[in-house]
Structure 1
């Protein structure tokens, strides 16, 4: 086994603050390396991380956390999640969920998303007035994706403030070195979220609407198969957790990157047609999800390393997205980058189902920030969250000039 020189400590504040120099050192040593403290392999290069995501001898194999009742609801929402399944179960569930998504929900929401983004930016501009720093995370980045997913599912407006705290508590379970307090909070959130969605699904059965939840309740495939109650609830929770966390963190990480590269911000403002490629570049440059684990179902070789059945390997997405073998000047932000095969949304059968919706949200929010301001600048130091796996900010003070 090859030890990463130096070992990659995912809890080191310096690595959390900026993991990319450590990634570069590790990539230069070997594409796949064993991490003894974590007890798993790490894939640092684009080719090997992509192989981890696509190789059918590697799977997502859910094993209940602490079997028993203590984490019962947390386990339930993962045991039935499409993200934690492999074919044929994954194929069946993705087919049903995709059929519900195929009813035009993303395009239906596009104008509404743009109106919401415009109004949120206008509110920030009014509060800032060109001189007062305002937090773009709480004022827009966190609010927009939760509102969009709630609208998509048909969650009543009065209930929407419940969603983000539930999601925040659950996703903290994906970090390393978590505490009992984190586990207890995640279980409470999962139990409350499950109970809420069971009641909402029952309401949609009685009174169907045109929302995605109604279509998930009623969808059937050609064989007459349908989602179970647990699969329905889990799918809704996954849409919120994965969807809003990714969009919030691309918004925060991406805007900070633009503010720290004023030349690229000016370039994008001068040519709004670059917005779609800029969004892809922001996702590549500072990935919102840094690590995705898979487990070997049989002995398999990845990047010269032999994994034994049962061993875990993690694709380090942020490292892969800065691989100089694939990306020219990978540490340079280039909003016009067109050759950009980033793997921020994953690859293979687990490619993100919500990617089209995320792109709509991000283009709307960054488009509004550019079109409804004449100037954007940092209003103070950005505060980063202390977690590695889900990479994001706690606060991003910005001065917005009308």
Structure 2
């Protein structure tokens, strides 16, 4: 298959449901392949890792997108929602914002959250036990996988408990903006979600300006209002929105994909219970084998660059197939085998380099606390019907995962 044929097939319902045969096709083309004058495809692990770390390749920031996307698309509410966040910023803006966010979103702050995360896990497991009593079928995605990270990120941001279910619904809709590609109509629910979320965030910001609290929102507002003004108002709003979406979508899919893999590979659950496999290794292998983030893009910032053996010019888009890189036989032995005891995994699910996800420590902490308690509490947990995929390419997971817990 040609590179553009692979990308086209990945955008179909069949390709989104099972992209791995198409990734094999991409890997047969080599680590990189040209798809015309302004597009290149990367599937090799080492090259993907290198491009993600190379400052010569940036993200589609608001300046670059304004030149290529057109005024109509740039005016869409959901597109505007995060355009001034670290996700869509290049140097020097990115370094300034990331330094600030990293200073308040620290491993120490995450570590301090562990008692709260453990309490949330216990509460959710109790609810699963009640709702799944006598073999009743429950939706693992709805009742645990989404609930835990939503609770954690909302606690971090200082969002009241009574608003969290609404935030989950709206943030799930808004996340479609990360996955729309050529399906502009798919932005309609995301636009509607942002039109509800934006006034809520502005109200929250106004309240925290009057009465600061010990939360991430107050810390970012303080940076915005400081004499050196390290964040402007648009950047404050964009990064709060990004933290909300990134704070739960990837983690929810890590839990959902992980539980489904345990159903498909019961020997892995036995290894975890017996201690012959570590939970940390299990989570890393889930991130590799069925990554919650399957694809990301970069853009060449100047002429005369190389993507592997492919020469590219300024403005060339580089699609990095993370899911393919995780199945690269040049990097992994038997890459199509799920093996929680695999060593030296180093998945690219959270990116690499300057844009490495600031919330990766939080996601791994939630997995480290959630998976062991889940298997300890429900050793007989089993699939109770076919799961439903979320019909996305970039953010791969399930919208429904029916289970029994006894």
Give the 3-state SS of the residue equivalent to 1:7 in structure 2: helix
Partner of 1:18: 18
Give the 3-state SS of the residue equivalent to 2:253 in structure 1: helix
Q: What is the distance in 2 between the residues matched to 1:129 and 1:26? A: 46
Q: What is the distance in 1 between the residues matched to 2:212 and 2:95? A: 26
Indicate the RMSD between aligned Cα atoms, in angstroms: 2.4
TM-score normalised by L of structure 1: 0.92
Q: How many residues align?
A: 398
- The correspondence for 2:387, drawn from 372, 377, 382, is 382
Are 2:325 and 1:320 aligned?
Answer: yes
Q: Cα distance, 1:80 vs. partner? A: 0.8
- Map of 1:282-361 to 2, 5 A cutoff? 282-299=286-303, 300-361=305-366
Q: Is the 8 A contact 2:149 2:251 kept in 1?
A: yes
> CA 1:189–1:6 in 2, change beyond 3 Å: closer, same or farther?
closer
Q: Is the 8 A contact 1:23 1:44 kept in 2?
A: yes
Q: Cα distance, 1:212 vs. partner? A: 1.1
Q: Cα distance, 1:74 vs. partner? A: 2.8
Once the two structures are superposed, residues 7-55 of structure 1 have per-residue CA deviations (whole angstroms, 9 ceiling, x without a partner) of 341123332222112212221222212346x963210110121122112
Partner of 1:94: 98
Give the 3-state SS of the residue equivalent to 1:256 in structure 2: helix
Give the 3-state SS of the residue equivalent to 1:292 in structure 2: strand
- The correspondence for 2:167, drawn from 158, 163, 170, is 163
- The correspondence for 1:143, drawn from 132, 143, 147, is 147
Give the 3-state SS of the residue equivalent to 1:390 in structure 2: coil
Partner of 1:400: 405
Once the two structures are superposed, residues 86-114 of structure 1 have per-residue CA deviations (whole angstroms, 9 ceiling, x without a partner) of 11111101111111223843122111111
Give the 3-state SS of the residue equivalent to 1:246 in structure 2: helix
Q: Is the 8 A contact 2:38 2:312 kept in 1?
A: no
Give the 3-state SS of the residue equivalent to 2:212 in structure 1: coil
Q: What is the distance in 2 between the residues matched to 1:162 and 1:96? A: 28
> CA 1:228–1:352 in 2, change beyond 3 Å: closer, same or farther?
same
Partner of 2:192: 188
Partner of 1:133: 137
Q: Cα distance, 1:379 vs. partner? A: 1.0
Q: What is the distance in 1 between the residues matched to 2:106 and 2:256? A: 29
**Where does structure 1 lack aligned partners over 5 or more consecutive residues?**
none
Partner of 1:366: 371
**Where does structure 2 lack aligned partners over 5 or more consecutive residues?**
none
Q: What is the distance in 2 between the residues matched to 1:129 and 1:281? A: 31
> CA 1:223–1:95 in 2, change beyond 3 Å: closer, same or farther?
farther
Partner of 1:7: 6
Partner of 1:253: 257
Q: Is the 8 A contact 2:45 2:325 kept in 1?
A: yes
Give the 3-state SS of the residue equivalent to 1:219 in structure 2: helix
Q: Is the 8 A contact 2:284 2:346 kept in 1?
A: no
